[in-house]
């Protein structure tokens, strides 16, 4: 049973941002400072990646652990209320992420996905991986 009323749940869910999250912004700012020019949330690219290098076909997704089900087999049982809803919601997100990856790769894209915690704790590693991928694709 949900502890919030339908109206409270609606307002809570509306407050969840789909673009411009703190972790996405943190990654984007560093890339911009290093001279990498990207597009944010390009609707013309399947799956609407958080950052795209369209000319060289590199798509970057910044995934939060909760919404995208990091270690889902372990954390699935952390939910205390409204389990049926959350299981379905997060499992659909996981499936959609797989489908987006598959479709983009078939189209010749390189797909990079980063967990929010990795951007928070290992930002330099994430930046280096993106830079290496972009420079390798430009060299081809």
Average pLDDT taken over every residue of the chain: 85
Could you give the CA distance from residue 117 to residue 97 in angstroms, rounded to a whole number? Answer: 18
The residues, ordered by sequence, that sit 6+ positions from 108 with a Cβ below 8 Å of its Cβ are 57
| Strand ranges of the sheet holding 51-53, from the earlier edge strand across to the other edge | 39-40, 51-53, 58-63, 110-115
For 22-53, what is each residue's pLDDT tens digit?
Answer: 889 999 999 999 999 999 999 999 999 999 99
Domains along the chain?
19-139 (3.40.960.10)
| pLDDT at residue number 126 | 96
Residues (pLDDT < 50) of the chain are none
The residues, ordered by sequence, that sit 6+ positions from 109 with a Cβ below 8 Å of its Cβ are 45, 57, 58, 59
Reported pTM: 0.80
Put residue 108 in one of left, alpha, beta given phi > 0 → left and psi -120 to 50 → alpha.
left
């Amino acid at each position: 049973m949900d502890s919030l009323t339908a109206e409270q749940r609606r307002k809570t869910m509306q407050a969840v941002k789909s673009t411009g999250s703190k972790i996405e912004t943190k990654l984007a700012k560093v890339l911009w400072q290093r001279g990498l020019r990207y597009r944010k949330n390009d609707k013309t690219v399947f799956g609407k990646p958080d950052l795209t290098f369209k000319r060289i076909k590199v798509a970057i997704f910044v995934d939060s652990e909760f919404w995208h089900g990091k270690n889902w087999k372990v954390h699935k049982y952390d939910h205390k209320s409204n389990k049926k809803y959350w299981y379905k919601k997060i499992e659909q997100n996981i499936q959609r992420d797989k489908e987006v990856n598959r479709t983009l790769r078939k189209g010749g894209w390189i797909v990079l996905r980063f967990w929010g915690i990795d951007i928070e704790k290992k930002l330099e590693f994430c930046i280096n991986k993106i830079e290496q991928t972009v420079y390798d694709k430009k060299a081809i």
